[in-house]
Copies of this chain bind each other. A is one copy, B any other.
Amino acid sequence: MTEIDEREQGKVFQPRFDAAGLITAVAVDSRTREILMLAHMNAQALAMTRETGLAHFYSRSRQRLWLKGESSGNVLRVEEIRVDCDQDALVLLVQPDGPACHTGARSCFYRVVGADGLAPIAD
């Protein structure tokens, strides 16, 4: 197998962190399939997530590891982690304890981009 075949078809998990040491992770409600949030993980956040079953991320603005829900209590219980073809993005299938967004919304994606600006999503 070539290196690319191995990465795309192999059984070895070799997450590709970017130049800043981060990989993008998308959290999805495992029951409703709603996309809840998008955030970044460094190697430690990924390891902590796998170890504890609770989603951990790395905050680029605060430059530190955080447990999602550490202050709000709204943790994300990770049931499954999926990786994409070139292993530079993750999907987390989660069971959310409460709203995933810090605004109190169920999902961070609560607005639609329209021709005249943003509007609340219909569903």
Interface residues in A, total, Cβ within 8 A? 39
A28:B38 contact, CB within 8 angstroms: no
Of all chain B residues, the one with the shortest Cβ separation from A40 is B24
State how many copies of this chain the complex holds: 2
- Say if the beta carbon of A37 comes within 8 Å of chain B: yes
- Say if the beta carbon of A1 comes within 8 Å of chain B: no
B8:A112 contact, CB within 8 angstroms: no
Beyond A82-B111, A111-B82, whether A38 also contacts B11 by CB under 8 A is no
Those of A24-62 within 8 Å (CB) of chain B: 24, 26, 28, 33-35, 37-38, 50
Whole-angstrom distance between the Cβ of A15 and the nearest chain B Cβ: 9
Which A positions have Cβ atoms within 8 angstroms of B?
Answer: 8-13, 24, 26, 28, 33-35, 37-38, 50, 80-86, 89-91, 101-103, 105, 108-113, 117-119, 121
